[in-house]
Homo-oligomer: A and B are copies of this chain.
Amino acid sequence: MPVFTLAELAKILNVELQGIASTEITGIAALQSATPNQISFLDNPRYAKYLDTTQAAAVILAKQYVELCPRSTLITDNPYLAYAKVASLFAQKPIVTQGIHPSAVIGEGCEIHASASIGAHCVLGNNVKICANAVIQPGCVIGENCTIGEESYLWAKVVLYHQVKIGARVILHSGVVLGSDGFGNAQSNQGWQKVPQLGGVIIGNDVEIGANTTVDRGALDNTIIEDGVKLDNQIQVGHNVVIGKHTAIAGCVAIAGSTKIGKYCLIGGGACIAGHLDIADNVVITGMTGIPNSISEPGIYSGGVPPLPNKAWRKNAILFCRLDELNRRIKQLESKIVETA
């Protein structure tokens, strides 16, 4: 386990230290569970109540909380970012062995950099390119003509269909499927006729994609996820979707085909976005919101209705179905009042 003094951490983070510079820190933990040789942090104000009693040696926090904290403090405008940096100092990833595991099955014409790691029971199709320091954990299947950029990391059991291009420093979590056929079916007299999906998938640099998320290949052009995009678990990205740089999307979001999402957007969990839409840059969509139309202006958009105790909900939900009637009754009252007046 690595050890840092508070002075060293303050220097690495380039933040102000109030307290004992020589205290040695051996780990990081939440305010409630930190021990006296660990550092902690305060970002979400809901947890400020734990400042008073935390056993942490020191706390990373914003200026306004210093007085509430009896421990050493590292003071910064962005405690969450500072926490991320400190956590990376203490992170211990599983050890990876360079080279190709003897049980892996490798196609013809593959280019695999000597520094890359191909795990047990992986299967690579023909003409796959794996760049320097890339890690392919056990049980991944990579289709022909795929490229995996430098330092990218595929956890166990990722599947890439053919012609998927992955940039550098990309992280794909287990169960991710990239390049499956988009949902294209044309009506014919004999039932649905499959529309072949001829495009590919292009993933930029520094993208992270969560467990069991699926990204379909394009019908004709490619499905594109730009640099720095972060996708959580169990997201569905339809064919020919484009997701702009640095957009972050929480779990279980569904994005239908051919929709373009701008840069720096934030999309909450469980939201659904219809197909063939344009969502502007800097749009925030809160959780479980359905988006049936394009959004051209930045801002926060919300949908759904708040939960209620079931009995109250039933009354109100029934009235939702009678809103048109309520509106007509109000109109009638208005016209009568005018007559009376």
Residues of A bordering B, CB below 8 Å:
28-30, 33, 44, 46, 78, 80-81, 83-85, 87-88, 90-92, 94, 101, 103, 105, 119-121, 123, 125, 137-139, 141, 143-144, 155-157, 159, 161-162, 171, 173-175, 177, 180-181, 183-188, 191-196, 198, 206, 208, 210-212, 214, 216, 219-221, 227-228, 230, 232-234, 236, 238, 245-246, 248, 250-252, 254, 256, 269-270, 272, 274, 276, 284-292, 299-310, 312-324, 326-327, 329-330, 333-334, 336-337, 340-341
Q: Which residues of B contact A301 (CB under 8 A)?
A: 307-310, 313
Q: Which one, B85, B251, B292, B315, contacts A306 given CB within 8 A?
A: B292
Add 16 more A-B contacts to A81-B186, A316-B320, A330-B330 (CB < 8 A).
A78-B187, A80-B187, A84-B185, A139-B139, A141-B157, A171-B181, A174-B177, A175-B175, A234-B254, A238-B251, A302-B308, A303-B305, A303-B306, A305-B305, A306-B320, A315-B323
Number of copies of this protein chain within its complex: 3
Q: Which residues of B contact A180 (CB under 8 A)?
A: 155, 173-174, 210-211, 233
Interchain CB contact under 8 A, B236 and A192? no
Q: Which residues of B contact A238 (CB under 8 A)?
A: 251
Interchain CB contact under 8 A, A313 and B302? yes
Interchain CB contact under 8 A, A194 and B208? yes
Q: Which one, B103, B186, B269, B321, contacts A312 given CB within 8 A?
A: B321
Once the chains are docked, how many angstroms separate the CA of A236 from the CA of B234?
7
* Identity of the chain B residue whose Cβ is nearest the Cβ of A308 in the assembled complex: B321
- Closest chain B CB from A77 CB (angstroms): 11
Once the chains are docked, how many angstroms separate the CA of A91 from the CA of B291?
33
Given A105-B120, A156-B141, A270 and B246 contact (CB-CB distance below 8 Å): no
Interchain CB contact under 8 A, B232 and A183? yes
Q: Which residues of B contact A174 (CB under 8 A)?
A: 141, 159, 161, 177, 180
- Closest chain B CB from A175 CB (angstroms): 5
Q: Which one, B211, B269, B318, contacts A214 given CB within 8 A?
A: B211
Q: Which residues of B contact A285 (CB under 8 A)?
A: 307
- Closest chain B CB from A301 CB (angstroms): 5
